[in-house]
Chains A and B, each alone.
Chain A
Amino acid sequence: MVMEKVMTFDVERIREDFPALKSMMHGKPLVYLDSAASSQKPEQVIAAMDQVYRTVYANVHRGVYTNSEVSTELYDQARAKIAHFINASTPEQVIFVRNATEALNLLAYSYGRHFLKEGDEVVLTQLEHHANFVPWLVLAQERGVKLKYIPLASDGTLDLSTLPELLTPRVKLVTFAHVSNVLGTITDPRLIIEPAHAIGARVIVDGCQAAPHMPVDVQELDCDFYAFSGHKMLGPTGIGVLYGKPELLDAMPPFLTGGDMINSVSMEGATWADVPAKFEAGTPAFVQAIGLGAAVDYLTALRMDAVREHERELVRYGLERLSELSGLTLLGPTDPSIRGGALSFTVKGIHPHDLGTLLDREGIAVRTGHHCAQPLHTCLGLTATARASFYIYNEPREVDALAEGIEKAKRVLHK
């Protein structure tokens, strides 16, 4: 058992596949601890896209010539791979978008403006990323929809004991992050989805920090929608995924309109193409989708349960190592089994931006600021934090480098 793990998860081997990890920053070997913002890309993904651009590249869908058909075929294959990756029952339930932000906006515009009316309520949580917050805020202001929030408990988890009170008959939609990009908190979606469904509400899961890091089975979760970005899971920028249940996607009006998403158009009107084309107006980012397909192949070969286990161990070590440092306060749950690979923290007397700048000088990349979760930081009484986040290619020695970097910063700043 242990032997098998070692064989399937060889970080040194994995690192060989990532050219950018061999780069230097300020003359120091790069210690990349910002994968929650965006991951690095393996050769396999870069090569898959390079290959298309160098060979069969042609616009998809409308061509009858061979290269257009091959490009279309590769695009369709990518969709099928991603459907399989999240266990969607058919590829048509996978809609390609630019990123999770676009997926959530699509839902706020197309589902929200069509199905929600004044007086209806949407339940969010206090830890949402702005991408799953602002679209609903705009909808609320525009349509008189009311927003309610699942509060944060003091241990950094969501206080789900409030659900019976929050889930009133006016609630039509519940939307929340599977994993918090700041606190790392993993919320078991079923604990929210089941009671929400029981009152007839639909549920959106923002899977941005989950799909790259752990097995996700949308059928088992029984979520109505699931959104994530390709660039956080080894894929290129410009491609993201919205999964939806077919009956909902069918009932929703299109978001953007134009070419590729119509059935027929006359001077008098148009009829919409079937899902997923209905939601993919214009030339899609098909090369990026093919790249994401290659990313999913890479992750699948590693096995997502092994990915999760690797990161849990890094988080366990990170929590242990960083909590040894004086003046450092870690945010979020202390139990690695309910934490994704993001460790946010503050250091007494040092502004996160100064810390980030000093770590940069040591070749260490961490993110600083409010991580697009300002309401959460307000709840925590903070304006900014520093965040180190892990992925498949990170190693315990990088946690050590971070800890040493923080100690050095403290010395330089007389803290």
Chain B
Amino acid sequence: MEDLYRENLLDHYENPRHHGTLEHPDITHEESNPLCGDQIRVDVRLGDDGTRIAEIAFSGDGCIISQASASMLMEEVAGKSVADVQKLDRQDVLDMVGVPLTAARVKCALLGLKVLKAGLYQYLIDHQQP
């Protein structure tokens, strides 16, 4: 039992990093997993040239896996370029979580990444140069 919810995971759940909301974010996106009620909102403020994540915060509610993995993701992407963040994939998140998950729980772990990517994607579409 203990091996699954490692101290690192629990620490992120109990002391989430970059937790909260931002004033005047460039991007705000929220999604939930209707099956278990996990819910995550991500706010992003981009650097002046719009290619770098200057500030990021998440808020939400749900199981340990969903909230802790979102916290880990925030730590990972803060200060990174948008292009690098777009390259993150499911395996990157699963590696951050670092514990074996069943298929049903993989969904929980990926919610944060899904919200972040969907928000970035929408932003890029909205700000595309004609």
Is the CB–CB distance between B63 and A354 below 8 Å? Answer: yes
Tell whether, in the assembled complex, residue B1 and residue A414 are in contact, meaning their CB atoms are under 8 Å apart: no
**A 77-111 binary contact with B (CB < 8 Å = 1; else 0):** 00000000000000000000000000000000000
Total CB contacts across the A-B interface at under 8 A: 46
| Chain B residue at smallest Cβ distance from A361 | B1
Once A353-B108, A412-B2, A413-B5 are accepted as A-B contacts, the answer to whether A383 and B64 lie under 8 Å apart by CB is no
Any A CB within 8 A of the CB of B125: no
The residue that B36 contacts in the complex, of A351, A361, A362, A409, with Cβ under 8 A, is A351
Interface string of B81-117 (1 = CB under 8 A from A): 0000000000000000000001011001000000000
| B37: interface (CB < 8 Å) | yes
**Contact residues in A for B36 (Cβ distance below 8 Å):** 351-353, 368-369, 383-384
Out of A352, A358, A368, which one reaches B5, CB within 8 Å?
A358
A354, B13: Cα distance in complex, Å: 12
Secondary structure at the B interface, as helix, strand, loop or mixed, is loop
Chain B residues, Cβ within 8 Å of A362: 1
* Binary per-residue interface labels of chain A (394-412) against chain B in the complex, 1 for a CB within 8 Å, 0 otherwise: 0000000000000011001
Size of the chain B interface, CB-CB below 8 angstroms: 17
Which residues of chain B (1-32) have a CB below 8 Å from chain A?
1-2, 4-5, 10, 14
A414 pairs with B63, CB closer than 8 A: no
Decide yes or no: A369 and B1 within 8 Å by CB, A351-B64, A354-B65 being known contacts.
Answer: no
In the assembled complex, the Cα of A369 lies from the Cα of B2 at a distance in Å of 23
Question: Which chain B residue has the least Cβ–Cβ distance from A374?
Answer: B34
> Are B1 and A412 in contact (CB-based, < 8 A)?
yes
Q: Which of A353, A368, A370, A409 contacts B1 (CB 8 A)?
A: A409
Counting chain A CB atoms within 10 Å of each CB, the highest count among B1, B10, B63, B108 belongs to B1
The interface residues of chain A lying within 8 Å CB-to-CB of B4 are 357-358, 361
Q: A413, B35: Cβ atoms under 8 Å?
A: no
- Across-interface contacts of A413 in B (CB, < 8 A): 5, 10, 64
Nearest B residue to A351, CB-CB: B63
| Residues from 30 to 59 in B contacting A, C-beta threshold 8 Å | 35-37
Least CB separation from B1: chain A residue: A361
Note all chain B residues with C-beta closer than 8 A to A409: 1
Residue from B10, B35, B102 in contact with A357 in the complex, judged by beta carbons closer than 8 Å: B102
Within 8 A of B (CB), among A345-365: 351-354, 357-358, 360-362
B37 to chain A: closest residue by CB: A383
Q: Which B residues are in CB contact (< 8 Å) with A369?
A: 35-36
Known contacts A383-B36, A384-B37, A413-B64, A354 near B5 by CB under 8 Å = yes
A370 to B65 Cα, complex, angstroms: 18
In the bound complex, how far is the Cα of B11 from the Cα of A413, in angstroms?
10
Question: How far, in whole Å, are A368 and B64 apart by their CA atoms in the complex?
Answer: 14
* 6 smallest beta-carbon distances between A and B, as pairs: A383-B37, A351-B63, A353-B63, A361-B1, A354-B64, A354-B63
Q: A370-B37, A412-B2 are in contact. List 7 more A-B contacts (CB 8 A).
A: A352-B36, A352-B63, A354-B63, A354-B64, A368-B36, A384-B37, A409-B1
